[in-house]
Amino acid sequence: MMNLVTWNPMREMETLQNRINRLFDGRFFPSSSLDDDMSVGNWRPVVDIYENEDTLVVKAELPGVDKKDITVDLKDGVLTLSGKRSHEKEVKEENYYRKERAYGSFHRSFNVTAEIDPDKIKAEFKDGVLKVEIPKPEEKKPKKIAVH
């Protein structure tokens, strides 16, 4: 149903390096630039993808995102989730002690089979979780053969 994606160890190393840098920058050398980057920059919501007999299911955690700010697209076998989480304006910047939640745009794309009918895809947003159900094409469903 889904294409395999090549593991990129350099991306993993870069992520680890960024986490280690944040640990030392925040604890030993406090700086507001890190917090500003996190609050304004792009963020990547976590996603679970699984399949059952009839559908492929994509669940994305989108806390604090308004339903009207979410877009789900399917084009050329690529499912794309995108949108934005707006910054809360209720608290003045000088009243913050720490700001770790990221705001701004997000964009996640996943390869799926190209034979999917976009009109049959269902998307539901409830309690901060986007659930996208993609029906498998008839020829991709496992066929049970009765043994006599």
Give 16's Cβ-side CA count (13 Å radius).
Answer: 5
Sheet holding 122-126, edge to edge: 47-51, 55-61, 129-135, 122-126
Give the per-residue pLDDT at 44: 85
Give the per-residue pLDDT at 16: 81
Give the per-residue pLDDT at 53: 85
| pLDDT mean by block of 10 residues, the chain; 148 residues | 69 79 61 44 84 92 92 91 80 68 86 82 95 84 76
Give the per-residue pLDDT at 49: 94
Give the per-residue pLDDT at 118: 84
Contact indicator for 86, 103 with CB cutoff of 8 Å: yes
Q: How far apart are the first and last CA of the chain?
A: 30
For residues 86 and 39, give the distance between their C-alpha atoms in angstroms, rounded to a whole number: 10
What one-letter code names the amino acid at 116? I
For residues 77 and 56, give the distance between their C-alpha atoms in angstroms, rounded to a whole number: 13
Kindly report the CA angle at 83 between 108 and 60, in degrees rounded to 5?
50
For residues 107 and 81, give the distance between their C-alpha atoms in angstroms, rounded to a whole number: 6
| b (16+ CB within 10 A) / e for 7-37 | eeeeeeeeeeeeeeeeeeeeeeeeeeebeee
Give the per-residue pLDDT at 34: 42
For the question of whether the overall pTM of this predicted structure is more than 0.85, the answer is no
